[in-house]
């Protein structure tokens, strides 16, 4: 019999695999915190499966498909958890990821005990996230030699801005949608977030965060053969994906990166009214949305001034003291709309 994972154990696993997202999850109201936390952990386990080189790509696809069908199916959950725990947990070099894969069965057991409505919502978001991972496995196939350290493959660019937008939805926009639907269903003070226009803004919030990740992670992704800069934009700037690995050529991509930063800021602007729609009487929910947005803006501000954002040796990271300051400022003004808006405008201006 699988035991339930107490919230304190969830916290320990969450803090190990994602300190930034854990900030938001840690202050959520109890009515939604467990559901969102466990859904995130299962999604993170799926991401670890998709990225591993310990098994072939076709086996990874089979494991992802098995995980997709395990929510609410106790027998499938036990089977996939055993397979992942036995076959993959020992292959990761990250201790927190190893613990997560070993405890995947516990997490799936909790999802199986959710209410039917919550289980259906969770199944939808996990299906979207896993679909995005499967698309990447198809989009960026890994040759066996590259997978086992025998040399990288040249980066391949995605086909269009529409494909980039789909990637951002499947990686994070769907999470904004799920987050919104769950809080609207369980927290009476924000039931109005279930309106279609506000759900759409929740999607834009998720897309904003993913686009920041895309820009920040370009150097690592390029070395892994993945280029999330659309081919038409590269061609318009006279570049091929391989040029982004060339120190003498990659600085020509600055206008393209500026264009993507502007797109990320447009998503931020569309998402801010979503934050404003959360009443001051629900400060924890407001902060849970403000913190990732402001961290995203701080990252964009650092990318804006980076001499060479595509240099693999350039580490673009928000410093811990900056995070603490963000938490302090937001906590002080969260219930005062005009002050909150001014604080947000300053961070938005720094990013632009």
Average pLDDT over residues 255-282: 96
CB count within 10 Å of CB 323 equals 17
Give the pLDDT of residue 8.
Answer: 66
Q: Could you please report the per-residue DSSP string of 235-287?
A: HHTT--GGGGG-TTTGGGGHHHHHHHHHHHHHHHHHHHHHHHHS-TT-HHHHH
Give the pLDDT of residue 118.
Answer: 95
Average pLDDT over residues 290-302: 96
Which CA distances in Å does 27 have to 32, 35, 221?
10, 13, 32
Average pLDDT over residues 204-230: 95
Give the separation between CA 301 and CA 293, rounded to whole angstroms.
12
CB 42 within 8 A of CB 104: yes
Give the separation between CA 163 and CA 171, rounded to whole angstroms.
12
Would the pLDDT of 148 be above 60? no
Return the DSSP state at 142.
Answer: P
* pLDDT grade for 150, boundaries at 50, 70 and 90: very low
pTM for this model (two decimals): 0.91
| Residues near 212 by beta carbon (within 8 Å), at least 6 away in sequence | 264, 296, 299, 300
The candidate with the shortest Cα–Cα distance to 25, out of 51, 68, 16, is: 16
CB count within 10 Å of CB 114 equals 19
More confident residue, 22 or 245: 245
CB count within 10 Å of CB 298 equals 22
Q: Could you please report the per-residue DSSP string of 6-45?
A: -HHHHHHHHHHH-HHHHHHHHTS-HHHHHHHHHHHHHHHH
Neighbouring-strand partners of residue 227: 157
Give the separation between CA 257 and CA 303, rounded to whole angstroms.
9
Query: Residue 229: helix, strand or coil by DSSP?
Result: coil
58-62, 125-129, 134-138, 180-184: which has the minimum mean pLDDT? 58-62
Average pLDDT over residues 249-262: 93
Give the separation between CA 341 and CA 344, rounded to whole angstroms.
5
Angle formed by the axes of helices 196-216 and 283-305, nearest 10°: 30
Average pLDDT over residues 285-303: 96
Average pLDDT over residues 154-178: 96
Give the separation between CA 259 and CA 263, rounded to whole angstroms.
6
Would the pLDDT of 297 be above 80? yes
CATH architecture of 154-352: Orthogonal Bundle (1.10)
Percent of the chain clearing pLDDT 90 (strictly above): 65
CB 128 within 8 A of CB 170: yes
Percent of the chain clearing pLDDT 70 (strictly above): 93
More confident residue, 30 or 286: 286
Give the pLDDT of residue 6.
Answer: 54
Give the pLDDT of residue 145.
Answer: 42
Please report, for the chain, the start and end positions of each structural domain, with discontinuous segments joined by +: 1-152, 154-352
Give the pLDDT of residue 239.
Answer: 95
More confident residue, 153 or 150: 153
Give the separation between CA 100 and CA 207, rounded to whole angstroms.
26
* pLDDT grade for 92, boundaries at 50, 70 and 90: confident
Task: Give the pLDDT confidence of 19-32 residue by residue, as tens digits.
Answer: 778 889 889 998 99
| Residues near 141 by beta carbon (within 8 Å), at least 6 away in sequence | 57
Give the separation between CA 224 and CA 329, rounded to whole angstroms.
38
Give the pLDDT of residue 246.
Answer: 93
More confident residue, 81 or 233: 233
* pLDDT grade for 55, boundaries at 50, 70 and 90: confident
Give the separation between CA 149 and CA 170, rounded to whole angstroms.
29
């Amino acid at each position: 019999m699988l035991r339930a994972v107490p919230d304190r154990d969830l916290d320990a696993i969450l803090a190990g695999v994602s300190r930034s997202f854990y900030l938001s999850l840690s202050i959520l109201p109890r009515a939604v915190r467990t559901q969102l936390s466990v859904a995130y952990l299962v999604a993170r386990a799926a991401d670890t499966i998709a990225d591993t080189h310990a098994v072939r790509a076709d086996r990874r696809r089979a494991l992802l498909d098995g995980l997709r069908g395990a929510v609410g199916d106790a027998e499938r959950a036990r089977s996939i958890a055993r397979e992942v725990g036995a076959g993959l947990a020992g292959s990761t070099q990250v201790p927190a990821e190893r613990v997560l894969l070993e405890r995947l069965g516990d997490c799936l057991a909790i999802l199986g005990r959710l209410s039917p409505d919550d289980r259906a919502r969770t199944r939808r978001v996990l299906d979207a996230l896993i679909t995005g991972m499967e698309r990447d496995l198809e989009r960026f196939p890994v040759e066996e030699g590259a997978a086992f350290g025998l040399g990288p493959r040249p980066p391949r660019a995605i086909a269009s801005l529409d494909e980039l937008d789909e990637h951002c939805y499947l990686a994070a926009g769907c999470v904004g949608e799920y987050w919104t639907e769950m809080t609207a269903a369980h927290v009476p003070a924000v039931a109005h977030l279930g309106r279609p226009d506000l759900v759409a803004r929740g999607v834009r919030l998720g897309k904003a965060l993913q686009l920041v990740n895309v820009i920040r992670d370009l150097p690592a992704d390029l070395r892994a053969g993945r280029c999330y800069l659309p081919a038409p934009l590269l061609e318009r700037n006279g570049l091929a994906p391989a040029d982004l690995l060339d120190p003498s050529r990659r600085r020509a991509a600055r206008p393209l990166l500026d264009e993507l930063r502007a797109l990320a800021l447009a998503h931020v602007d569309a998402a801010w009214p979503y934050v404003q729609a959360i009443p001051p009487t629900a400060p924890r929910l407001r902060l849970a949305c403000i913190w990732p947005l402001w961290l995203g803006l701080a990252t964009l501000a650092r990318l804006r001034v980076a001499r060479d954002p595509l240099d693999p040796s350039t580490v673009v990271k928000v410093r811990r003291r900056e995070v603490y300051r963000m938490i302090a400022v937001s906590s002080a003004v969260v219930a005062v709309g005009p002050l909150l808006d001014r604080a947000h405008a300053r961070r938005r201006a720094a990013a632009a």
